[in-house]
Amino acid sequence: MGHGRVIVVGAGHASAQLCLSLRRGGFDGEIVLVGDEPSLPYQRPPLSKTFLHGTTTLDDLLIRKPEFYEKEDVGFRHARVTGIDRENNTVELDDGERLAYDHLVLCTGARPRPLDVPGDDLDGVHALRDAADIEAIRGTLRTAGRAVIVGAGYIGLEAAASLRKLEVEVTVLEVAARVLQRVTAPEVSAFYDRVHREEGVDLRTGVGVAGFQGDGHVRAVRLTDGTEIPADLVIVGVGVLPNVELARDAGIEVQDGIVVDEHGRTDDPRVFAAGDCANHFDARYGTRMRLECVANANEHAKAIAGAICGNEKPISALPWFWSDQYDLKLQIAGLSTGHDQIVLRGDPADGRSFACFYLADGRLIAADCVNRPKEFMFSKRAITEGLHPDPAHLTDPDIQLASLLSAPTATAR
C-alpha cells in the first residue's frame, strides 16, 4: 500500500494510466495531476485522424471521463511546473505556488522537433502534437486547398491520409530516400509509397526544404534545389524531442530522455518518469530505448504504480504500435532494429494486406502487419516467447500461424 502525496507532471496517456493503477494498487494517499493543457488526459493518436476530420470532439477523446477523477479523488491543476526542488521535495508552478511531494512522476512527453528554416514562423505553418495544433490546422483548412507536409514518418503520412479524405491537395516531402526509412523495411516503404500515390498524394523523397515563403501567411515551400511548391497550409512532422528540461535542471540523469530503471525510477528514488520522455533498458532487446507509443506509456505507468505501492514488477511488455491510414490498419509488434532477414506473407506490391516479419539469427524480433490482425497476434506471442519459426512456414499462406506456436521448428532456444 502507498501513502503520502504523488504529484504527476503532464496529462497524457501515462498520467491517466498511473492514476488508475495507483488506486487499483491500493494507494490511498493524495494524487495531484498537473497539466499545461486545460483538458484532462486525452487520446493523442486520433488527433491526426478522426479529430482532424472533425468526426470526434475532444470530449470523445478523453481517456477517462471527469467522473473517474472525482470518484478516485484525483486532483487536477491546469498549470505548468517550472522547477523541481529535490532537497525539499517540492515543485514550483508557473504562478509561484509550491507543492510538496512524497513521490514525483514526470510524464512530460515530447515536443515537435522544429524545422529551423526561414519562414517557419509564418501563419499556416503548423506542428502536429496536441489538440491546439489540430484546432489551428482546422482553422487554416477553411481557406486552404493545397497542403504541404514535411516529413514522411507515421505522423506525416497519417496527416496526408486525413487531408486527402477532406479532398485537400497534398504534397509530402521527405529528405530520406524513402518513406518510413528509419522504422521499416524497403518493402513496407514501397507499399506505403504506392498507396499514397494511388490516393492522389504528390510524394517526393530525397528532397530538402530551404524555407517557407509568404506575405504573413505561407504561400509556398522552397526546396533546396530552388523548386517552389504552392501551399496554403504546411504541416511539419520531422520527429520529436523529449521534454527533459525539468529533470535535467534538477540534476537528474538524462540521455535521450530521462534515464530510468526497470521500475521507472530515476537516480532520485522519489522521482519517476514515464512515457515519451523516459529512457529505460529493455532486457529483450538488450539496449536502452525511448519509445513514443501509447502501449509503452501505459506499461511505464503500471510499473511505477507498482513501485510506489510496494508491489514492484519490472517493465517487460513487448513494445507495439499502430498506424491508421486510409483503409489500412498497420499493427507493429516488437522492434526491427538488428534484423538480418525479412520474410513476407502476402504481396506488398499488390493489394492492401500483407505481413512483414523481421528475424535475427532465426528468432522473430518484430513484425509489420497491414490489415493482418491474426499475423499481429501471432507475432506478439512468438516474439514474447523468443520463438524461431521456420521462414518457409511464415511465408506460406496455407499454413495456420497458430500451429507454428507449438511446432518443433518454432521452439525457443
Q: Are strands 169-174 and 146-150 parallel, antiparallel or unpaired?
A: parallel
Helix 154-165 to helix 186-198 angle (10° resolution) is 20
Helix 13-24 to helix 294-308 angle (10° resolution) is 30
CA 324, CA 339: separation in Å to the nearest integer? 25
The amino acid sitting at 259 is: V
Count other C-beta atoms under 10 Å from residue 213's C-beta: 16
Contacts of 119 (CB under 8 A, 6+ apart): 125, 211, 212, 213, 214, 218
Contact of 372 with 353, CB cutoff 8 Å: yes
Long-range contacts for 112-118 (Cβ within 8 Å, ≥24 apart)?
Answer: 112/236, 112/237, 112/238, 112/239, 112/240, 112/241, 113/238, 113/239, 113/240, 113/241, 114/236, 115/150, 115/209, 115/236, 115/238, 117/209, 117/210, 117/211, 117/212, 118/210, 118/211, 118/212
Q: Where in the chain is the domain with CATH 3.50.50.60?
A: 5-111+241-308, 114-238
CATH architecture of 327-410: 2-Layer Sandwich (3.30)
Long-range contacts for 61-64 (Cβ within 8 Å, ≥24 apart)?
Answer: 61/131, 63/13, 63/16, 64/16, 64/19, 64/20, 64/40
Cα of first residue to Cα of last residue in the chain, in angstroms, is 39
CA 271, CA 249: separation in Å to the nearest integer? 14
Residue 342 has a pLDDT of 97
What cell does 21 get? 493503477
114-238 has which CATH code? Answer: 3.50.50.60
Contacts of 175 (CB under 8 A, 6+ apart): 206, 207, 208, 209
Q: Where in the chain is the domain with CATH 3.30.390.30?
A: 327-410
Distance from chain centroid for Cα 73 = 29
Contact of 232 with 141, CB cutoff 8 Å: no
Residue 284 has a pLDDT of 86
Say if domain 5-111+241-308 classifies as CATH 1.20.1080.10: no
What cell does 389 get? 519459426
Q: Are strands 363-370 and 103-106 parallel, antiparallel or unpaired?
A: unpaired
CA 177, CA 345: separation in Å to the nearest integer? 25
CA 168, CA 327: separation in Å to the nearest integer? 18
If the chain, 413 residues long, is cut into consecutive pieces of 10 residues, what is the mean pLDDT of each piece? 88 97 96 97 92 91 97 97 98 97 98 95 95 94 94 95 95 97 96 98 98 96 97 96 98 98 97 97 90 94 97 91 95 95 96 97 97 97 94 94 72 51
pTM: 0.93
Nearest to 54 by CA among 168, 193, 192, 197: 168
Contacts of 224 (CB under 8 A, 6+ apart): 207, 208, 209, 210
Residue 54 has a pLDDT of 86
